[in-house]
Amino acid sequence: MKGFWHDAVEFFPILMNGVALTIVVTIGSLLLSTVLGLIWAMMRVSGIKALSMLSASLINVIRGIPIIVLLFYLYFVMPDLGVTLSALQAAILGLGIAYSAYQAENFRAGIEAIDKGQIEAAQSIGMGWWLTMRRVVLPQAVRIVLPPYGNVMIMMLKDSSQASTITVAELALQGKLIASSTFKNTSVFTLVALMYLTMSIPLILLVRHFEKRAGKK
């Protein structure tokens, strides 16, 4: 145990560099997946058949490809097509696109859970599709969507470790590099696990808060 604390003090600053990148990848891909997910969901519920089908197909394609393959494609294949991305850009883009499919289904479920009477009331006072969405449907759907959205945040935090496969030196890769050079596997990976857990706990509490609030409504 004494050895662990000694290792912890020694490796903590290096691992914190990894934590910083983990947070950047998570927040970047979360924002991207939210925007893309919202766009796919709006296309799905637009009532325009072509848009709805395009969105459904996109979601299925994205869901059918493993995140790691998507990352490899963006990082290793895109340069062959003339688009070179940094490892960090590819990680944010890959995770953002991969999770946009789950976000879209989550948002769509939230939108479709809103009572039809709300939409009719909005229409009856002359609101068009977009105004109905903006003023009536989305503000109510947010409350339904927040608990699963929180879960997606936790999953994305953990899945950001997949960025290590394309050389992003986030927490998991920093841990692997330290472990392979010091052979202190137990200390290093216990520290890495504890650091992921420390970042996840506030998110878990946030989800619980969202669920409680949604339950009250």
Interface with other proteins, residue 136, by CB under 8 A: yes
Stretch that binds other proteins, among 9-17, 69-77, 83-91, 111-119 (CB under 8 A): 111-119
Give dist(CA 30, CA 203) in Å, integer.
Answer: 13
Tokens matching residue 123:
């229409």
Among 121, 197, 201, 205, binds other proteins (CB under 8 A): 121
Among 4, 139, 197, 208, binds other proteins (CB under 8 A): 139
Tokens matching residue 7:
């290792």
Interface with other proteins, residue 140, by CB under 8 A: yes
Give dist(CA 138, CA 19) in Å, integer.
Answer: 33
Among 48, 131, 193, 205, binds other proteins (CB under 8 A): 131
Interface with other proteins, residue 115, by CB under 8 A: yes
Interface with other proteins, residue 10, by CB under 8 A: no
Interface with other proteins, residue 113, by CB under 8 A: no
Give dist(CA 91, CA 5) in Å, integer.
Answer: 32
Interface with other proteins, residue 120, by CB under 8 A: yes
CB of 120 to other proteins, least distance (A): 5
Q: Which is nearer to other proteins, 97 or 138 (CB)?
A: 138
CB 25 within 8 A of CB 89: no
Stretch that binds other proteins, among 58-66, 135-143, 146-154, 201-209 (CB under 8 A): 135-143
**Which segments of the chain does DSSP mark as H helices, in order?**
2-45, 49-64, 67-72, 87-112, 116-124, 129-132, 138-159, 171-182, 185-216
Q: How many residues bind other proteins (CB under 8 A)?
A: 18
Interface with other proteins, residue 126, by CB under 8 A: yes
Give dist(CA 146, CA 31) in Å, integer.
Answer: 14
Of the candidates 55, 67, 131, which has an alpha carbon nearest to the alpha carbon of residue 98? 67
Interacting residues with other proteins (CB under 8 A): 115, 117-118, 120-128, 131, 135-136, 139-140, 143
